[in-house]
Structure 1
Amino acid sequence: MATHTFEIDETFDIPRSKVFALFADHHSFGKLLGAPVKRIKDSNQADPNGLGSVRRLGIGPIGLEETITCFEPDLLIEYTVTSFSPIRNHLGRIRFEDTPEGHTRVRYRISFDDVVPFTGKLVSAALEQAIRRGIRQVPKFA
């Protein structure tokens, strides 16, 4: 198994709380990615999209489930794939910070191991492209 990692670092002239809300809400996160996303399990915390919530991405058997493993409002979201998938040890980490200029910096990092040899590069490239395209949509949805 090979480990694959990529990081996207973007800055927006939008308040951090608004940017965080776009990524935290499962429905708006799906809009950013251009994929159907549905929360299938609510968090036990105040925010139903928070720690322990589960979202389903995709349609039917092509979809997968992700569970939120860390949720710090306006600071950090971490999640992992918790359904059957062609990748293992997946960790998505989205950090939100203020810049000295008063903008919002988003650092989105994903790492995973491939299960089927030599498929990880393809999965990583497709995933990174989809997330980069989605992140460019943040100003449109904020």
Structure 2
Amino acid sequence: MQIIENVQLPPEEMFARLADHENLGKALGVPVKRIRDGEGSVNGVGSVRTMAFWPLDFDETITAFDPPRRIEYSVSRGSPLRQHSAVILLSPRGAGTEVSWSVSFASAIPLAGRLLRMVMRLALTHGIRKLAANP
């Protein structure tokens, strides 16, 4: 699944907003807490954030962090999905930024996978727009 949104912020500003774990939680409307600092940056490679909202409780680990262009993460604990990972790419577009957020995962139940993709698409699109509108 891939989401592409164009926002009216420069890549550096949008990257900073996406990289901040607590800020991301506010935009997505779920509690997010950094439980381990990353290397070189608190939100960088090796950083772990936890998300806990009923009935889910899982961790995401940052696996690539290249300001202001790329963030990659994978679910490292607790997800009912297999091989759950994502890549966020930011590219300059005029005075703004194109945000490409690609998520992949495997689900043992095909219809559940489709439903989750729809829910994720809505949540991530809303989150990107909210982050772009509010600091």
TM-score (norm 2): 0.92
Q: Which amino acid aligns with 1:81?
A: V
Pairing 1:66–2:75 present = no
8 Å CA contact 1:86–1:116 kept in 2: the answer is: no
| Distance in structure 2 (CA, Å) of the matches to 1:90 and 1:25 | 20
- Superposition CA RMSD, Å: 1.5
Q: Which runs of 5+ in 2 are unaligned?
A: none
Q: Distance in 2 between matches of 1:36 and 1:130?
A: 14
Cα deviation per residue 1:29-88 (whole Å; 9 max; x = unaligned)?
111111110001111x22111001100012376221100011101010000111122211
Match of 2:73 among 75, 79, 85: 79
SS state at 1:52 partner: coil
Distance of 1:61 and 1:41 partners within structure 2:
23
CA distance in 2, matches of 1:61, 1:107: 28
| Matching residue's letter, 1:77 | I
- Please say if residues 12 and 139 of structure 1, whose CA atoms lie closer than 8 Å, have aligned partners that are also in contact: yes
2:43 alignment partner in structure 1? 49
- Please name the residue that 1:3 is paired with: none
Deviation at 1:118, TM superposition (A): 3.0
Please identify runs of 4+ aligned residues in structure 1 that moved more than 6 A: none
Distance across 1 between alignment mates of 2:133 and 2:111: 36
Q: Is the 8 A contact 2:81 2:106 kept in 1?
A: yes
Secondary structure of 1:115's counterpart equals: coil
How many Å separate the matches in 2 of 1:78 and 1:38? 17
Decide whether the 8 Å contact of 1:32 with 1:134 is kept in 2: yes
Pair 1:15–1:117, CA change in 2 (3 A): closer
Do the aligned partners of 1:86 and 1:115 also contact (CA within 8 Å) in 2?
no
Q: 1:84-103 alignment to 2 at 5 Å? A: 84-99=78-93, 101-103=94-96
Distance across 1 between alignment mates of 2:53 and 2:132: 27
Unaligned runs of 5+ in 1: 1-5
